[in-house]
C-alpha cells in the first residue's frame, strides 16, 4: 500500500505490482490467496502451453487459451518465455527458436484482459542481449494492438497454417494472425466485418472478403487493424 501511495504522490502514476507463482501456489493454497496483495499473478502454464503449440505447429493449441491458475484473465501475467523457462536446469524454452517465442508472445498479448511479459534472452557478456527481437516489428505491433483493443471482445479461430485471435467492439476491429512454419495462410474471421485492414507489422493492406482472408506473413505474424 505504501509503495502505491509513493508512486502516486511522487510520479503521479499508478503502480502495477505482479507476483510470480510457478506451476502451483503450493499445498492447501490457491492463487486467490495472493490476489489481495497484487494486481496480477503469473500463469506460467498458460503461456508455456501456447509456446509448445507454436513449436509443434499445433494451430488449435496456438489459438486457444485456458488459465490453469483458475484466475480470471485480468488477474494474470502471460509470457512466451521467462527467465525461468530459458535459464533453469530444465531449459523448457531454451530450444525454442526466438521466432517461435516471439510468435507465442504475440498470441498471448492478443488475448483479452491479461497482461503480458517479454523476456530478453541474455547475450554472452554482461548487460548485452542475444538479439534485438524485443524491438522487432512483430513485437512492437503486438504491443500496440494490446493497448488499442483494451476492453474489447475476443474470439479465436484457426485456418490453414495459422491461428488467429480476433478482437472487436467499441467500433474497433482487428486480429493477430500467427502462422506455423509456413508463411502462407488463409483463415475465416467471422467476428470481423469485411473491408481493408492494415498490417501493423509490414504496413501492407489485407482485404477481408466474405469473412475470409489469405496472404503471406514474412515474419510469421500479421497484426491487423481495420482501416
pLDDT, residue 152, reads: 98
CATH code: domain of residue 172: 2.60.40.1180
Judged against a pLDDT cut of 80, whether residue 1 lies above it is answered with no
Q: What percent of the chain has pLDDT over 90?
A: 79
pLDDT, residue 43, reads: 93
Tell me if 143 sits within 8 A of 109, measured CB to CB. yes
Q: How confident is the model at residue 27 (pLDDT cuts 50, 70, 90)?
A: confident
CB-CB neighbours of 12 under 10 Å: 7
Overall domain count for the chain: 1
Boundaries of domain holding 81: 2-226
pLDDT, residue 89, reads: 78
Region of 19 (left: φ > 0; alpha: ψ -120 to 50; beta: rest) is beta
Mean pLDDT of the chain: 94
Q: What percent of the chain has pLDDT over 70?
A: 100
Question: Widest CA span of the chain, in angstroms?
Answer: 54
Judged against a pLDDT cut of 90, whether residue 23 lies above it is answered with no
Task: Round to whole Å and give the CA distance between 9 and 27.
Answer: 39
Judged against a pLDDT cut of 80, whether residue 184 lies above it is answered with yes
Note the pTM of the prediction, 2 decimals. Answer: 0.94
pLDDT, mean of residues 13-26: 90
Q: How confident is the model at residue 59 (pLDDT cuts 50, 70, 90)?
A: very high
Q: What is the dihedral of CA 136, 131, 54, 161, to 10 degrees?
A: 50
Q: How confident is the model at residue 131 (pLDDT cuts 50, 70, 90)?
A: confident
Amino acid at each position: 500500500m505504501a509503495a502505491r501511495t509513493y508512486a502516486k504522490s511522487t510520479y503521479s502514476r499508478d503502480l502495477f505490482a505482479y507476483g510470480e507463482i510457478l506451476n502451483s501456489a503450493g499445498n492447501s493454497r490457491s492463487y486467490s490467496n495472493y490476489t489481495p496483495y497484487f494486481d496480477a499473478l503469473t500463469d506460467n502454464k498458460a503461456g508455456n502451453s501456447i509456446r509448445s503449440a507454436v513449436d509443434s505447429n499445433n494451430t488449435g493449441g496456438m489459438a486457444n487459451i485456458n488459465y490453469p491458475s483458475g484466475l480470471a484473465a485480468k488477474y494474470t501475467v502471460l509470457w512466451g518465455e521467462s527467465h525461468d523457462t530459458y535459464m533453469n536446469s530444465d531449459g523448457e524454452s531454451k530450444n525454442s527458436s526466438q521466432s517461435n517465442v516471439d510468435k507465442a508472445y504475440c498470441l498471448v498479448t492478443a488475448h483479452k484482459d491479461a497482461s503480458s511479459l517479454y523476456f530478453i534472452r541474455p547475450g554472452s557478456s554482461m548487460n548485452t542481449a542475444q538479439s534485438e527481437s524485443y524491438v522487432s516489428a512483430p513485437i512492437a505491433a503486438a504491443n500496440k494492438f494490446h493497448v488499442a483493443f483494451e476492453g474489447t471482445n475476443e474470439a479465436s479461430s484457426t485456418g490453414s497454417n495459422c491461428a488467429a485471435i480476433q478482437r472487436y467492439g467499441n467500433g474497433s476491429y482487428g486480429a493477430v494472425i500467427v502462422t506455423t512454419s509456413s508463411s502462407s495462410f488463409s483463415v475465416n474471421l467471422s467476428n470481423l466485418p469485411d473491408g481493408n485492414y492494415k498490417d501493423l507489422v509490414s504496413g501492407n493492406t489485407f482485404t477481408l472478403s466474405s469473412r475470409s482472408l489469405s496472404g503471406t506473413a514474412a515474419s510469421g505474424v500479421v497484426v491487423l487493424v481495420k482501416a
